[in-house]
Amino acid sequence: MTPGQPFSEEYELEFKALKYIARIQNTFTEINDIQIQIIRFIQLIFKADEVILFTFENESRDTVLKRLLGNRDYWIYQSSINLDKSTIRQAITTKKVIEIPTILAGDYFNNEVDSAPGLDVRRICSIPILSGEQVFGGVNLLNHQDSPLSEEKLEILDCLVSSLANGLDSYQKYQALRTKNINLETGRLEILSSRDTLRALFDNIPASLYIVDQAFNLLAINKSRADRAFLLPNSIVGHKCYEKLFGLNEICAGCRVLDTINSGRQTSRIQRQWLDDEQYIEWEISTFPIQNAKYRTNQSIIFEQDITEKRHLEANLIQSEKLAAVGQLAAGVAHEINNPLAAIIANAQLLLKETPLEDKDTRDSLQLIEIAGSRASQVVKNLLGLARKEEYDFVRLDINETILNAISLVQHEINSHQLKIILKLKDNLPPAFASRDHIQGVWINLLMNAIDAVDVENGEITISSDYQDKEFQIVIADNGKGIPPNKLMRIFEPFYTTKSAGRGTGLGLSVCNRIIKKHSGMIAAESILGQGSRFIVTLPGSASFKVTGSLTE
């Protein structure tokens, strides 16, 4: 081209192509747009009937994706193409340009692979897409002009195909980086999820749990243990455990953390935490070693578990064994005790009949003997009830009548304590379905407890009965000394008593509870220390009554 001569159309196309290649080096362009534009430039510059782009479908490189553009603005795809024996395969394998100016029989040309549908291919040029030593695919020029291609044309073609290689290389690296980022983000989310799961598990363990290092610095602590110190977990991590958890300036007495760190072994000890009301919480404190990569113990897990209830259950089991022993003892001595008692009660009753009404002192003494004998007999029956089956004779009866009968049986005790009995018995109660002797025994027991509790002047015992929602409710209340809250929860346990030594067996309320449950009812206690106690007995009406268990016990 001489100076002043206008640029040829071919030169302008080559210039545009090179300008486009320069531009895409510094900007992000979709790989598909790059491929379409480069293939279009190749087709126009080399005046080819068709330009075919081959790219590998997977890492195994056993099949390729074949794309044809022609005069369209979009691709025609053929997938899963097996290259077999073909010109493009030869170019990819040898990493060299393969040009066949005139196709003859026996050449590498494979019409199914190398050609486009409906095209009569006379000449072909196959170029591998290379970036360094990496092969991404190849390009076929079909029926291009100026064949064989000159050195200058081959350089232009190499530049255009290299831009395809660079684009594919960048795209693959971008995809690999994107996949790594996705995997990293997925891993991060999994770690966060695992951390949250572990944190939730750590915090929801009901026992207290924390981790310390050799210097007793808190490394982690669960919510349960932090709550006991009235602190937030994050606010105490990094501080000394004995300072934040126990309010001390030095290591706790009996601490086994150093033993675990030095020996690498688990330890365990029991510690009692005394409360203000003479109650205590019993803790089982265990330490576990945490080893580093060199199998050296440099941290310890401290696990504190409240075993107070466990100890109570163990005590209850021992108490049950005591009950079994007492039951066997009671069965053995029952006749020895009952026979003398029967004689005492019978003789007291005979003497009462023979004693003149005017001899009040003698009659009072005889009545006291009869009542005391009856109480002793009842204690024996209660003990026997623990060892053998006891018959319940359920009949329709008047609840108010059983209450009045019980009052009459303890009237002497009421009078001797100068107590005031306030009756609030509802009239016209429907009949109840109960075992008369047993239910009456409950009232006597509750009344005797109330009498013992009222040791003040102006002592009062209030007894009320009512019937609502198909249930009887009987309340026996006193204005006595009350029951401490820590003892109230145990008053229905066998052999547990709040009375002084020699004044109670601890069986009364346990027997009452057993009898009321047999009647499908409930008994509850309320008490305010220094103001008195209320015992509420709830029994089902006869229509809804259902015997709990058998009629013998």
Mean pLDDT of the chain: 84
What is the rounded distance in angstroms from the CA atom of residue 393 to the CA atom of residue 414?
29
What is the rounded distance in angstroms from the CA atom of residue 440 to the CA atom of residue 434?
10
pLDDT of residue 423: 94
At residue 522 the predicted structure's pLDDT band, cuts being 50, 70 and 90, is: very high
What is the rounded distance in angstroms from the CA atom of residue 372 to the CA atom of residue 377?
9
- What superfamily would CATH give domain 392-553? Histidine kinase-like ATPase, C-terminal domain (3.30.565.10)
Query: Any residues with CB less than 8 A from the CB of 324 and at least 6 apart, and which?
Result: none
Whether the per-residue pLDDT at 2 is higher than 60: the answer is no
Q: What is the pLDDT of residues 368-405, one digit of tens each?
A: 888 888 877 776 765 565 455 567 888 999 999 999 98
Whether the per-residue pLDDT at 1 is higher than 50: the answer is no
List, as one string, the DSSP characters of 435-483: EHHHHHHHHHHHHHHHHHH--STT-EEEEEEEEETTEEEEEEEE-S---
Whether the per-residue pLDDT at 552 is higher than 50: the answer is no
The CA-atom distances, in angstroms, between 222 and each of 73, 119, 347 are 64, 76, 72
Q: What do you get for the CA distance between the two ends of the chain, in Å?
A: 125
Whether the per-residue pLDDT at 339 is higher than 90: the answer is no
Query: Any residues with CB less than 8 A from the CB of 436 and at least 6 apart, and which?
Result: 393, 395, 397, 402
Q: How many CB atoms lie within 10 A of CB 280?
A: 13
Counting residues of the chain whose pLDDT is more than 90, the rounded percentage is: 27
Thinking of the domain 9-176, which architecture would CATH place it in?
A: 2-Layer Sandwich (3.30)
What is the rounded distance in angstroms from the CA atom of residue 531 to the CA atom of residue 477?
10
Whether the per-residue pLDDT at 475 is higher than 90: the answer is yes
Residue with tokens 């002047």: 457
At residue 544 the predicted structure's pLDDT band, cuts being 50, 70 and 90, is: low
pLDDT of residue 401: 93
Query: Any residues with CB less than 8 A from the CB of 349 and at least 6 apart, and which?
Result: 370
What is the rounded distance in angstroms from the CA atom of residue 390 to the CA atom of residue 552?
5
**Which residue stretches of 248-393 are H helix?**
257-263, 308-354, 360-387
Q: What is the pLDDT of residues 196-242, one digit of tens each?
A: 888 788 888 888 999 999 999 999 999 999 999 999 999 999 999 99
At residue 37 the predicted structure's pLDDT band, cuts being 50, 70 and 90, is: confident
What is the rounded distance in angstroms from the CA atom of residue 431 to the CA atom of residue 500?
39
Q: Which of 144-153, 508-517, 543-552 has the lowest mean pLDDT?
A: 543-552
User: pTM of this prediction?
Assistant: 0.44
What is the rounded distance in angstroms from the CA atom of residue 327 to the CA atom of residue 382?
10
Structure tokens at 9: 């159309």
Averaged over 31-42, what is the pLDDT?
A: 85
List the domain boundaries for the chain. Answer: 9-176, 205-306, 309-388, 392-553
At residue 442 the predicted structure's pLDDT band, cuts being 50, 70 and 90, is: very high
SS3 of 379-434: the string is HHHHHHHHHCCCECCEEEECHHHHHHHHHHHCHHHHHHCCCEEEEEECCCCCCEEE
Check if the beta carbon of residue 429 is closer than 8 Å to that of residue 401. no
Counting residues of the chain whose pLDDT is more than 70, the rounded percentage is: 88
What is the rounded distance in angstroms from the CA atom of residue 309 to the CA atom of residue 71?
87
What is the rounded distance in angstroms from the CA atom of residue 155 to the CA atom of residue 462?
117
Whether the per-residue pLDDT at 299 is higher than 80: the answer is yes
The CA-atom distances, in angstroms, between 177 and each of 31, 182, 264, 494 are 16, 8, 45, 75
pLDDT of residue 501: 46
Peptide bond into 128 cis (omega under 30): no
Q: What is the pLDDT of residues 80-114, one digit of tens each?
A: 888 888 899 999 999 999 999 888 876 788 888 89
Query: Any residues with CB less than 8 A from the CB of 292 and at least 6 apart, and which?
Result: 298
Q: What is the pLDDT of residues 138-168, one digit of tens each?
A: 999 999 887 788 888 888 888 888 888 888 8
pLDDT of residue 425: 93
Whether the per-residue pLDDT at 14 is higher than 50: the answer is yes
205-306 matches 9-176 in CATH topology: yes
Among candidate residues 421, 425, 339, 325, the one with its CA nearest the CA of residue 376: 339
Averaged over 487-498, what is the pLDDT?
A: 74
SS3 of 529-549: the string is CCCEEEEEEEEECCCCCCCCC
At residue 5 the predicted structure's pLDDT band, cuts being 50, 70 and 90, is: very low
Helical axes 436-453 vs 508-518, angle rounded to 10°? 140
Q: Which of 36-40, 258-262, 371-375, 504-508 has the lowest mean pLDDT?
A: 504-508
What is the rounded distance in angstroms from the CA atom of residue 10 to the CA atom of residue 183?
48
Q: Which of 38-52, 231-245, 252-266, 491-505 has the lowest mean pLDDT?
A: 491-505
What is the rounded distance in angstroms from the CA atom of residue 145 to the CA atom of residue 134?
29
- What superfamily would CATH give domain 205-306? PAS domain (3.30.450.20)
Averaged over 44-64, what is the pLDDT?
A: 87
